Structure 1
């Protein structure tokens, strides 16, 4: 019996030695980021998730699939007022019941899926670390930490499905602070059979606002000659939109470092308002009243950074 046990142990050890080893590169943060990006483009899934922000908890059904060479996604609010967000490639639609003034909450899947276009630039402003393995939604996952390299950005933690690379949980936090926002799947079905009908909105919902393609082409206006004179290093202008309001054109300028983004609004308004700061989860809004305009900075950045940006908004040369 003793000889048989020794022989069995030797065989098992032999198989262990001969098993293919997992290389360090295959377990690196960079490898898992690329796996996540590929999963966002190629993997179909559906599931139920929760989103915690500003003390409010929302439950959502999420549908995600590659269709016609694009990534399609549909987010259905399961709690509170009915609302849906539908993304078809670069087109995003927010749908609400008629007369609704509620806001739809979107999971951070799109943000991380878009990282592919700017992964190299992002690495100059964030440090990526592999932190180990945990379970999320009943599945084994790899945890990655995304640490900002300055005080003008938040940090993130990501939990990626070990089998597919799909993002199962995302957490936003100030450096050394408690989580500001958490998104997490509680159940998920990989390889779900989804077709175009899966991305049709529920009955009784309508689009809140027109998409860029429905708007008239922007025109040059005095408001467009305003902009921030200071930006955190790495942020560049990614979009500019002009919308007409009762008192004049409202200009919005969006900025991103490839991962984090914020928007600066310039709205003609008589100087009767006040300077205010508000925050909801990871999103901050800073309002600065000028003599003839109101400046607003909105984004997932620290309050002090948003205040400095707002204070720097001046006429552009």
Structure 2
């Protein structure tokens, strides 16, 4: 009995030894490399608020390009695939949407958790754990203020893949959770595992080129420390509606986007909504003798989003 107990204590202590021998930054770098370079297949639970979904992921590197397939296993069938630089979304109604994604960022699993953590966070190794029957190293990414959420991470000791992650509020409550329940590190995947089925119609979602009736620029009067303006573009929501201006902001980990839509004398409902860690705030403003709807959507605390919203302004330049 004593020998069995001693063996059990040794096995329990092993992940801690691994964690102690590698600094947190090195662990995150290995996590990023593993996510992009390994072939793997597994099923995971995705929890947002009180809703839980089951999903399957397949990932392979074929001829130097990443192939990835997300499949929703609950409810109506929805799939999202990465085929090199292209994203493809398969909808339940049998249609397909192609998205050109040159930056390869949209489908990086837990893309917010890159290997470079901003100065507004502390990253700490926090002991050992187990996920999907596998030994893991537990980590924490803790914000230094109340303007962003924190994360708890569980990295597989063998592959360094991220097997579980939680986005948590200042009180430690998990707002969003991703957790593998099965993992296969030798799935034997090939191109056939990423083939597209026959669809009844397809469309491409691309940046909107050309000139527009107005050029709209969002100006933020206040941003939390570390947040900077990132990408800005025009996006077409539907063929019947005018393009929507979008300005994104990020601190390198947390992100939010401000959308600007010309109301054209339309009536809209202002307000605030939340789903898990995601907050959305809408309000109308007047600029250049026209009315616009501002909508902020992001994974930041609601008080922070409301303060940012109060300081937003529009610079509208008429087309020459």
TM bin (shorter chain) = 0.7 to 0.9
* Contact 2:282/2:295 (<8 A) preserved: yes
Q: 1:107 to 1:240 in 2, by over 3 A?
A: closer
Partner Cα separation in structure 2 for residue 310 and residue 135 of structure 1: 41
Q: How many residues align?
A: 284
The answer for the alignment partner of 1:224 in structure 2 is 216
The answer for the alignment partner of 2:249 in structure 1 is 255
The answer for the alignment partner of 1:233 in structure 2 is 225
Q: Does the alignment pair 1:144 with 2:139?
A: yes
The answer for the alignment partner of 1:298 in structure 2 is 297
* Contact 1:288/1:311 (<8 A) preserved: no
Q: 1:253 to 1:52 in 2, by over 3 A?
A: same
Partner Cα separation in structure 2 for residue 76 and residue 226 of structure 1: 36
Aligned pairs for 1:153-232 within 5 A: 153-204=148-199, 210-212=204-206, 215-219=207-211, 221-232=213-224
Partner Cα separation in structure 1 for residue 126 and residue 178 of structure 2: 18
Residue 39 of structure 1 aligns to a residue in which SS?
Answer: helix
Residue 225 of structure 1 aligns to a residue in which SS?
Answer: strand
The answer for the alignment partner of 1:109 in structure 2 is 109
* Contact 1:46/1:188 (<8 A) preserved: yes
Task: Show structure 1 runs of 5+ residues with no match.
Answer: 1-21, 101-105
Task: Show structure 2 runs of 5+ residues with no match.
Answer: 1-16, 96-105
Q: Does the alignment pair 1:135 with 2:130?
A: yes
* Contact 1:43/1:191 (<8 A) preserved: no
Q: 1:153 to 1:239 in 2, by over 3 A?
A: same
Partner Cα separation in structure 1 for residue 219 and residue 50 of structure 2: 33
**Cα drift, residue 30 of structure 1:** 1.4
The answer for the alignment partner of 2:7 in structure 1 is none
Q: Does the alignment pair 1:98 with 2:93?
A: yes
Please tell me the root mean square deviation across aligned C-alpha atoms, in Å. Answer: 2.7
Q: 1:204 to 1:186 in 2, by over 3 A?
A: farther
Comparing 240-249 with 79-88, greater Cα deviation is found at 240-249
TM, length-normalised to structure 2? 0.79
Residue 188 of structure 2 aligns to a residue in which SS?
Answer: coil
TM, length-normalised to structure 1? 0.80
* Contact 1:252/1:265 (<8 A) preserved: yes
Comparing 292-301 with 219-228, greater Cα deviation is found at 219-228
Q: Which structure has the greater CA radius of gyration?
A: 1
Structure with bigger helix share is 1
Q: 1:112 to 1:88 in 2, by over 3 A?
A: farther
